[in-house]
Structure 1
Amino acid sequence: MFVLELTYTAPLAEVDALMSEHMAWVDAQYAAGVFLASGRKRPRDGGVILAVADSREAIEGVAASDPFAVGRVCEYRITEFAATRVAEGLGAYRETVGA
């Protein structure tokens, strides 16, 4: 599982100019089963996405295709983690780690 943290690198007016394209991209990632949760940070200086993918390379490719990244209005920080405990309903995403 991955945590994708977006940090805006441009004024909000430039971010907002790409928002409809970004949201269409977000919708496509949910439809593909990649995104589990997402939203704006408070204060509004970026966003956070909880995602699943087969590899870090795959999730890096997803992030690179974001219109915000293409438009150079944000930077991504990607953190991979093993979701060894999950809430009810998320059992399909539970991972085990070797001892």
Structure 2
Amino acid sequence: MYIVSLSYIAPLEEIDAQLEQHVLWLKQCYADGLFLASGRKEPRTGGIILARGERHALQLRLAQDPFAQAGLARYDITEFHPSMTVAGLEILQDRPNA
């Protein structure tokens, strides 16, 4: 699993101009099963995405984000292996042979 920390490197006016396309891109990533959760940072300096799958595939998909294509954001990817979760989120836990 991956935590993607997206950091804006452009003014919010430029972010807002691409926001509708960014949301469409997010929805497609969810539909494809790549993303598990996402949302804005507070204060509004970027966002966080929980993702699964292959790192290379994730990197390719992040490059397709309208924010990335317009040079508006930087993406930091952290891989982690969740071993414990609160009840109801067991699907996030690493499982052998998964």
Q: Same fold (TM over 0.5)?
A: yes
Question: Within 5 Å, which residues of 2 pair with 1:19-98?
Answer: 19-53=19-53, 55-96=54-95
Deviations 1:32-77 (A, max 9, x none): 1111111000000100011111x21111111111110011000000
TM-score by length of 1: 0.89
Structure 2: which amino acid aligns with 1:18? Q
TM-score by length of 2: 0.90
Cα deviation for residue 91 of structure 1 reads: 2.9
**Structure 1: gaps of 5 or more residues:** none
Instruction: Give the length in aligned residue pairs.
Output: 96
Which piece of structure 1 moves more, 74-83 or 84-93?
84-93
Match status 1:17 vs 2:17: yes
Matched position secondary structure for 1:13: helix
Runs in 1 of length 4+ with deviation above 2 angstroms?
Answer: 86-93
Over the matched positions of the two proteins, sequence identity in percent amounts to 44
Structure 2: which amino acid aligns with 1:70? Q
